[in-house]
């Protein structure tokens, strides 16, 4: 008859058949909610550049995390905004730092029912806005920064963090943190390495929310060149060799090729961060009537999963979990 033997449409005919034949699946448990905790707040304050997101107080963070637990989200990723910043970012590793306080509050209230991930970097805590200790010429001192990251990681683990997520893109950061954690007795604390974090304009709303834009220069000397894919694979392999338990690509939506390459390069759990600029693009395009936000967000997150990510950090996490619970197909 001239017809092909294979008829793919047979498996698309009904919702039940489509569910049965679906190759990749998106669930609430694969989504991670990023949260900003601001020292000294008594109540949450909306973030103008990120609609629907807020600077949290400790109490409001607990309420937000209660919601994430109820929605079945995979966990929360914590960023801190200290009341005072200094040259070395000492608020990042202070025992009574804002993130350390938040971790203790979450652990006391939720026990092990919520995975708590602590971002390990200095940019939110330094008065110059860079991710590490600066030399007199303005360059970031890689090795001096590693010592501060190690102190930060140990303080976060001592507060009760399940996972430490070093995001500064310093050479050797995973090895330094793993050694410090092990020597301090935190051998069960995992590391989620920001292995492929690119220097991108898409961090703009985050830098506004975290008040961490560099006062001078930029971060292109330590974050990755957006043109490089093979280098991302090398970075991830180095982090795996240094003891990472999970690796990450950031941003996600505009770097799906890198997500796919890393999926082929490692069997470790792979995270992708759908960053603030990607969140803002989806939100504002939907607000302008370009498309339905729910449909666009779920398609986007599904695409990141299809590329190979096991977990997705996204500011749409709570909304997406609610939408997924409503889907019948």
Catalytic residue numbers, as ranges: 197, 250
Structural contact between residues 235 and 261, judged by C-beta atoms closer than 8 angstroms: no
How many residues in total does the chain contain?
329
Q: How far apart are CA 157 and CA 77, in angstroms?
A: 14
Concatenating the DSSP letter of every residue in 227-288 gives: T-SHHHHHHHHHHHHHT-SEEEEESSGGGHHHHHHHHHH--S-EEEEE-HHHHHHHHHHHHT
Label each residue of 179-207 as H, E or C.
HHHHHCCCCCCEEEEEEEEECCHHHHHHH
**E-only strand ranges, 67-189:** 75-81, 116-120, 163-166
Angle between helix 142-159 and 98-110 (nearest 10) = 30
Phi, psi of 139 (to 5 degrees): -80, 150
């Amino acid at each position: 008859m001239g017809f092909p033997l294979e008829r793919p449409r047979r498996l698309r005919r009904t919702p039940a058949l489509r569910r049965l034949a679906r190759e990749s699946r998106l669930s609430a448990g694969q989504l991670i909610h990023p949260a900003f905790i601001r020292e000294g707040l008594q109540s949450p304050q909306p973030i103008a550049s990120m609609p629907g997101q807020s600077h949290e107080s400790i109490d409001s963070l607990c309420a937000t995390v209660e919601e994430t637990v109820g929605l079945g989200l995979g966990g929360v990723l914590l960023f801190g905004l200290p009341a005072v910043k200094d040259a070395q970012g000492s608020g990042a590793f202070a025992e009574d730092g804002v993130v350390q306080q938040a971790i203790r509050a979450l652990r006391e209230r939720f026990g092990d029912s919520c995975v708590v991930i602590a971002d390990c970097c200095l940019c939110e805590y330094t008065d110059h806005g860079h991710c590490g200790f600066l030399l007199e010429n303005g360059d970031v001192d890689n090795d001096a920064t590693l010592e501060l990251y190690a102190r930060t990681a140990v303080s976060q683990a001592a507060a009760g963090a399940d996972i430490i997520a070093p995001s500064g893109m310093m050479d050797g950061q995973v090895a330094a943190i793993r050694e410090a954690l092990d020597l301090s007795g935190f051998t069960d604390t995992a590391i989620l390495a920001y292995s492929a974090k690119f220097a991108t304009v898409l961090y703009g709303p985050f830098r506004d929310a975290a008040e961490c834009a560099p006062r001078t220069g930029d971060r292109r000397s330590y974050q990755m060149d957006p043109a490089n894919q093979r280098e991302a694979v090398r970075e991830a392999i180095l982090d795996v060799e240094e003891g990472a338990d999970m690796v990450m690509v950031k941003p996600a939506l505009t770097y799906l090729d890198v997500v796919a390459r890393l999926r082929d390069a490692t069997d470790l759990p792979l995270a992708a961060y759908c960053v603030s600029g990607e969140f803002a693009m989806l939100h504002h395009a939907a607000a302008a009537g370009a498309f339905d936000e729910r449909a666009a967000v779920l398609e986007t997150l599904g695409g990141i999963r299809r590329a190979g990510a096991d977990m997705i950090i996204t500011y749409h996490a709570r909304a997406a979990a609610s939408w997924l619970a409503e889907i019948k197909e």
